[in-house]
A and B are shown apart, each in its own frame.
Chain A
C-alpha cells in the first residue's frame, strides 16, 4: 500500500535530539553583518554536493566532456606560441614557449572559469535561492570548487608537455598547491563581489566575459613579469592578484624566476578583496531572494 500509516517510532518529538531545540530570532537586519562561519561549516555537505552536481552536469551534457578542459588552454597556448613567441619575439624566460604559456594559462584558466561560474552562480540558481534557505555563500563557493576539476585534468597535460620538452620541475613543486589555493581564493574573492553585484545589476553578466579577456592581458601570461624591471612598477603589477599567482605557479613548476615582493603584494590584494567580498556578500545576502 502507498500510505505509511503507523508513525515510525524515531519520528516522535520526544527524541533526545529534540531535547535542546535551537532557538532563532528573525528580525530586520540593516547594514553590515558578522560572518557566520560556523553555519557555513554546518552546510559543508551542501557545498560539496552542489559542486558535485555542477561537475556531473558539465561532463554529462558536453559531447567532448573532459576534453574541453584541455582543448581550451592547449589551443590558446598554440596561438600564443606562434604569434607572440614566434612573430612577436616576446621573451619566455628561457623556457620553451609551449611550456611557458601553458604553465601560465593553467592557473589563469582556473581563475577565469571559476570567476565566471561564481559570478553567475546566484542568478543561475534563483529557483533555489527563492525557495530554500541556506547560507548563500555556498553558491559562489561551490562554483569555484567546480573549476578545480578542469584544472586537475589540464594539469596532467601540463606534466606531459614538460616531459616532452625535457623541463624537469625542481624542489619548488612542493609549493604548487599553495598557488592553486591562491588562485582559488582570488577567484572566490572577486567572484563574491560579482555574484552579489549580478543580483543587483544584470549588466554584470556582460561585464564578466569582457573583464576576464581584458584581465588576461594585464597578467604576465603572454609575457614574463621580468620585462618589468623597475621594482616600484613590479609592485604595481602585483596589485593584480593574478600576477603573483601566475608568477608563483610558474616558479613552482619551472623553478624560475623567484616572484619576490610582487607575490606579497598579490597575496595582500587577494586577502583584502576576499575579506571585503565576504562582508559585502553578507550585507547583500538578505536581499537576494527579493531581487534575484
Chain B
C-alpha cells in the first residue's frame, strides 16, 4: 500500500453564475423566478432554446499528490480557488469533475470558532464545537483539561461566551480545534486573526502537528508562514495548479513575480513633454534589480532593489537635487533620499546628456506592506521640479515575505519598518564598566 494521503486527480469545480435575473455569484432562486422562467422558457424553447447559463470554473483540472506526513502550503491570489479546493477535500462541497482520494480521517479548520454559540458557556461550547469538528464526547472529556489550559480561560468556563473578550473567544476556539487529531489536517487562514502572541501560539501548534508526522494542508497569504512550515507548495492561479514543488522558496518567488500585481506600477515613464526642465528632464523612474533590469512591484524584504532615475540634462546646475520619497500606505513619510545627501566630494558627478541615477534601497528595512515611492527634486532653495505629495510622479512597491531568517519571526510585526539589527552580549561586570565610563 502506498503512503499517499491525498491524491487529487483532474479535479474541477463549477459554479453557475447568476442567470438572467441576477449577476451575483450565488443567486437565490425564488419560486417566482422559476414560475416566470417556466412561462418565458416555453416561449423560448420554440425559438432559441435555453438561455446560456453562465458557468464559472473555480477549479479546473487540478492534480497533485500529497504523501503522508507532508506539510503542503497552498498559495495563490484571492479567487484562485484555494478555498474551493479545501472545501472539496474537507467534503463540504462536491467536485464537478475529477476525483480526490483521501486516506485517513480529515479534520478541517476553515474558520476558528465554527458553531460557537454566544449564549452558551465556555464549557458548553467546547463540547459543541468539538462535536461539530468531529470529536467524540469521550475524546473531549479526555482532553478537556488540556484544552482549557491551552486557552487560558479556566475562570470563565461557566460564563456565556458572549461576555468573552474577542481574544479569549479566539483562544478558546483555537484551543478546541488544535486538539483535534485527524490524520489529515486542513487549515485555511486561521492565523490571520488574533494578536501577535496568539498567532505565535497558533504557529507553534501547527508545527507541533507537522512534527508528529501528520499530513497538513495549509492555505495562507502569509508567505513567511508558508516558507517556515511547509515542505511542499502548490500554487493555484485562476483555478489551475500552476506550480508545485518542494522548493518552497522558488515557488513563492515565482508566484510573487508572476502574479503581475504592480508590474506596471513599479515603473513610471514620461509620456514626453512632462517635467520638461532644462536642468533635469526625466524619462523613466523605476525599480530595478542590481543589473538594472526592470523589477516587479512585489518583492521580498530581503530582495536587492535599486531605484533608477533616467533623465536628460541639457543644462548643468550645481543646485540640482534629485531623489525619492517613500511613503507608507497610511500616507506617512518614511524618509527622503537625495543624490546630494553625502559629503560634497562623493556626490555623483552629473554631465550633459542622458544619465541614469541609481540608488540601492536598503534591504530588510521595510516591513510587509505597500509603499509609494515618489520621484522628488528641484533646485535647492529655488524651485521644486517634482514637489513631494503635489506634482511628483510615483511608483509603488509591495513587500511580502523575506522579513527575517529567524525561526521565531514568521509574521509581520507591528511598525512600518522591520530592520534586522545585530545583537551582542557582554558579561554584567563588563557592561557595568562601560556605564561607569
- B100 contacts A26, CB within 8 Å? yes
8 A Cβ contacts from A184-215 to B: 200-203
Give every chain B residue within 8 A of A50 (Cβ-Cβ).
128, 131
Interface centre among B90, B94, B127, B160 (most CB of A within 10 A): B94
- A25 contacts B183, CB within 8 Å? no
- B97 contacts A132, CB within 8 Å? no
One of A64-72, A74-82, A123-131, A241-249 at the interface: A123-131
8 A Cβ contacts from B113-146 to A: 114-115, 117, 119-120, 124, 127-128, 131-134, 136-137
Query: Does B104 sit within 8 A of A, measured CB to CB?
Result: yes
- B96 contacts A28, CB within 8 Å? yes
* Total of A-B residue pairs, C-beta within 8 Å: 145
- B201 contacts A22, CB within 8 Å? no
Return the contact of A132 from the options B120, B132, B150 (Cβ within 8 A): B132
- B208 contacts A21, CB within 8 Å? no
- A49 contacts B104, CB within 8 Å? no
Complex Cα distance, B160 from A57, in Å, reads 11
User: What is the distance, in angstroms, from A212's C-beta to the closest C-beta of chain B?
Assistant: 18
Complex Cα distance, B120 from A71, in Å, reads 25
Return the contact of B108 from the options A22, A128, A133, A203 (Cβ within 8 A): A133
- A49 contacts B101, CB within 8 Å? no
Complex Cα distance, B152 from A231, in Å, reads 69
- B119 contacts A7, CB within 8 Å? no
Give every chain B residue within 8 A of A5 (Cβ-Cβ).
208
Interface residues on chain B, size class:
35 or more
Give every chain A residue within 8 A of B214 (Cβ-Cβ).
11, 13
- B119 contacts A60, CB within 8 Å? yes
Per-residue A-contact encoding for B155-185, CB less than 8 Å = 1, 0 else: 0000010000000000000000000010100
User: What is the distance, in angstroms, from A26's C-beta to the closest C-beta of chain B?
Assistant: 4
- B181 contacts A21, CB within 8 Å? no
- B29 contacts A201, CB within 8 Å? yes
- B31 contacts A131, CB within 8 Å? no
Return the contact of A3 from the options B34, B124, B201 (Cβ within 8 A): B201
8 A Cβ contacts from A235-265 to B: none
Complex Cα distance, B132 from A134, in Å, reads 8
- B68 contacts A133, CB within 8 Å? no
User: What is the distance, in angstroms, from B409's C-beta to the closest C-beta of chain A?
Assistant: 15
- B93 contacts A24, CB within 8 Å? no
Complex Cα distance, B5 from A21, in Å, reads 10
User: What is the distance, in angstroms, from B120's C-beta to the closest C-beta of chain A?
Assistant: 6
11 A-B residue pairings within 8 Å (CB atoms): A4-B208, A11-B214, A26-B91, A26-B100, A27-B98, A28-B97, A50-B131, A53-B124, A56-B120, A130-B87, A132-B92
Interface residues of A (CB under 8 A from B): 2-5, 7, 11-13, 18, 21-29, 45-46, 49-50, 53, 56-57, 60-61, 127-134, 200-203, 286-287, 289-291
- By Cβ-Cβ distance, the 4 closest A-B pairs, closest first, are A3-B204, A133-B91, A27-B99, A286-B94
